[in-house]
A and B are shown apart, each in its own frame.
With several copies, the nearest count.
Chain A
Amino acid sequence: MEQALIRLMCFGMLEEITGFKERQLIGKQDTDQFRIWLNDEFPELQKIDFVIAVNRKLINQNTVLKNEDEVALLPPFSGG
C-alpha cells in the first residue's frame, strides 16, 4: 500500500516550539497515529493548548490521512 505524504504546517507559537513552519511527513495513516508521532518528536507540545485542522477544517475525532492532505497545528486564535 502506498503511504500518504502529508503537508504538515505549524502556526503561531507552535512554529517557534517545533522549529518549522511547514514540512512533509510520510507514513501516518490517521490523525491518532500522527498525534503519537508528534508527542514522540515534540514532547514539549503536551503542555501546549492547540487544535488540529485537516484540509483547513478543525477535526475533533480520529481522521484518516490521505496523500497530499494538509495537516495544521493551530494554537488558540488571537485575531482582531
Chain B
Amino acid sequence: MNDHKIKNIFVEGAISSQKIAESIQSHSSKKEIGGHSIFLGQVREDVLEAGKVIQIEYTAYVDMALEKMQIIREDVFSKYPLSCMHVYHSLGKVNAGEICLFVFTSSKHRKPAIDACAELVERIKQELPIWGKEILENENSQWKENN
C-alpha cells in the first residue's frame, strides 16, 4: 500500500467512443504533450466449438484489481517519462464489437507513450484479477481464457 489515492478503473458496461473522444479532447490543454498512445480492447465474436460469442460478462476482484493497478501505475510512471496515464476496464456485460478496455498514455515524445501503453496492456491482462464469461448465442456460456 502507499499514500496515493487508489483510482478506480472500472466502468459498468461497454466503453463508448464518446468517452474516448472526451478523454482525448481533455488533453488539448496539456501543451507539453507530443504523443498519445491508445489501446482499445474490443469483444470479439469468436466462433467456438460450443457456439458463437455474442457478449462477454466481466467480473473482478475489484479491491485487489485496484490495488494491483496502483502498483502497475507507479511502476510504469517511474519507468517512462509520462505526462498522463488513464486505464478503464468494463464490468458486466459488453457485446461483441464493443470496447471493454481503454488504455491511454501521453508523453512529450512518442516512444515513451507507445512503450508504456504496450507494457500496461500486457500487465493488465496478466496481473489484474478480472474474468470474462463468454455468453454464446445459444445461451450457453464458458469462461474466457487469455492467451
A and B touch in the complex (CB under 8 A): yes
| Cα A75 to Cα B144 with chains together (Å) | 11
Would you call A56 and B59 a contact (CB within 8 A)?
A: no
| Cα A77 to Cα B110 with chains together (Å) | 16
Q: Is A27 an interface residue (CB 8 A)?
A: no
| Cα A53 to Cα B124 with chains together (Å) | 17
Contacts of A57 in B (CB 8 A): 64
Q: Is A79 an interface residue (CB 8 A)?
A: yes
Q: Is A6 an interface residue (CB 8 A)?
A: no
| Cα A12 to Cα B132 with chains together (Å) | 8
- Interface size of B as a range: 20 to 34
- The SS class assigned to the B binding surface is mixed
Would you call A13 and B128 a contact (CB within 8 A)?
A: no
Would you call A80 and B146 a contact (CB within 8 A)?
A: yes
Q: Is A72 an interface residue (CB 8 A)?
A: yes
- The SS class assigned to the A binding surface is loop
| Cα A68 to Cα B116 with chains together (Å) | 37
- 24 residue pairs of the A-B complex, CB under 8 angstroms, read A11-B61, A11-B131, A13-B143, A53-B61, A53-B129, A56-B64, A74-B61, A75-B143, A76-B145, A77-B128, A77-B131, A78-B131, A78-B132, A78-B143, A79-B124, A79-B125, A79-B131, A79-B146, A80-B41, A80-B100, A80-B101, A80-B110, A80-B124, A80-B130
